[in-house]
Structures are given as structure tokens and as C-alpha cells.
Amino acid sequence: MTEMTEKRRAFIEISGERSSGKTGLILSELAQATARREFCAVIDATDSFDPVSARNAGVDLNHILWICCTGKLDSALKAADYILHAGGFSHVVLDICDIRPEIVARIPRSYWFRFRFATEKSGAVFLLITPVPCSGAGSSAAVECVREKVEWSGSPEYRLLETVCARTLIRKAFRSAAMIKAGNRGITLENILNSKHK
């Protein structure tokens, strides 16, 4: 119970390069949360959230608050702050994944500490998806997604993209690694973060 409560008030950073399974992991987490009829907020810095893909992953879109920031990073950070302080959302996702790493690296560290304190107070899980690790000591856990392989089916002339296999490395607070397939249902952050104890 204590473990769960702690994770409820967690700021988890998920980093990784493109096509490394970050979005699949987040959608899986949102699907689990919305299945429990919890409300989640997605703060989308570059309007890249795909509701069709989310629906296919099992996310109940009625329980999602989607904030499109149309490439304005400062708006995304302000919106995340408002949402965290409002409370009532079980998961708050800040997606700055498509922003150039050099811009992400320039975000002041004080933001991440502010988000962490707000997260601890609101009881939400704050998930930061970023191209490069940036939150430093601000986050309570950090996960890095690494692409393993891409599975294609069919003959060379008529191929079909099947799945993207990725590995998650726990960069902070946890030391184990778990092999996941991006987009797999049932794989959640909780499973990954607990994998060391199993």
C-alpha cells in the first residue's frame, strides 16, 4: 500500500530517442488508468498525441483532457502547472518529445522541482516524456526507452510493419531492466518499476 501511495505521488521521466516505445508505454499506462475510470490530462507541446492510436491501445478518450500547445513550450509548462495544482487527475502527461533536445535542455531545473512538489501534493502521477533526460534531481524516477528491433512481416516487396520492440532502462531509483514491446497492453510503468522485486 505504501509503495502504491508513493508511486501515486511520483514524477517519472521517460526519455528516449525517436521510435523507442515511449508513446506506447504512455498509452498503455493511460489505458490502465482510464479503465479504472480515472481522469488523465495530456499536455501536448507539439500537438502530436494521436487519439486514433490511443483508442486502439484501449484508452477511453472521454476520460482524457487533451491540451494542444501548438509548439509553445512555455504554454505547455504553464498548463502542466495549472493542471497539477487543480488536482483530481490521476495521471498528468507532459509530452515534449518532439521538441529539439537543445531547447529541452534549456528548461530551468526549477520547473521540475515545482512539478515534483505539486505532484506530491496532488497525489497524481506526473509523466514527463522527453527526447533527452532533463529533469535531473527533480524527478522521483527516470526511465529510458531504447529501441531493440523492428519487426516487419511479408516478403520484401510487400512488407507490413508489425511492431517495434523496445527495452526500458531504469535510470534512477530502480536498477533493473524490463523488456517490453511498445504498444503491448498490460505493460505498465508499475510492472516495469516493480520488475526488480519479482
Partner 1 sequence: MFCCIYAIDKDNSDYQALVAFASRFSPLVEETGGDSVVLDLEGTELLNGPFTDFPGRITRLAEREGMAVRAAVAANPDAAFHAAHGLPESVFIEPGKEAEYLGDLPVENISHLLADITVERLGEIVGTLNSWGISTFGPLAALPTTGISERLGPEGVRIQQLAKGKTRRSIIVKSTGAVFSLSERLEHPVSSRETLLLVLAGYLEKLTAYLKAHHLAAAGFELETRLADGSTYARKIQFPSPIKEYRTLKKILELEIEGFSPSSPVTWVRLELNPGKTRMIQSGLFTPDTPEPEKTELVLARIGKIVGQGKIGSPEVENSHRPDPVRIKRFDTGSVFRKNRHMDQSPSARKQPATRKLRPPLAVMVWMGENRPIRVQTTDSGIRKGVSGKVLVSAGPWLTSGEWWSKGKWEREEWDLQLSDGTICRVYHDLQSNRWYLDAIYD
Could you say which residues in the range 138-177 bind partner 1, by CB under 8 A?
147, 150, 152, 154, 158-161, 163-164
Rounded Cα–Cα distance for residues 30 and 128 (Å): 13
To partner 1, the closest distance from the beta carbon of 95 in angstroms equals: 9
Single residue of 109, 121, 185, 196 touching partner 1 by CB under 8 A? 185
Point out which residues pair with 141 in neighbouring strands: 12
Nearest distance, CB of residue 57 and partner 1, angstroms: 6
Calculated CA dihedral for residues 81, 86, 88, 90, nearest 10 degrees = 0
d(CA 79, CA 85): 10
**Minimum distance of partner 1 from residue 185's CB (angstroms):** 8
CA distance linking residue 175 with residue 172, whole number of Å: 7
Closest CA to 133 of 120, 114, 146, 122: 146
The verdict on 106 binding partner 1 (CB under 8 A) reads no
> Is residue 133 close enough to count as binding partner 1 by CB under 8 A?
no
Site map for partner 1, 22-61, x if CB under 8 A? xxx-xx-------xxxxx------xxxxxxxxxxxxx-xx
Residues in 65-84 that interact with partner 1 by CB under 8 A: 65-73, 75, 78-79, 82-83
Task: Tell me the C-alpha distance between 46 and 130, whole Å.
Answer: 12
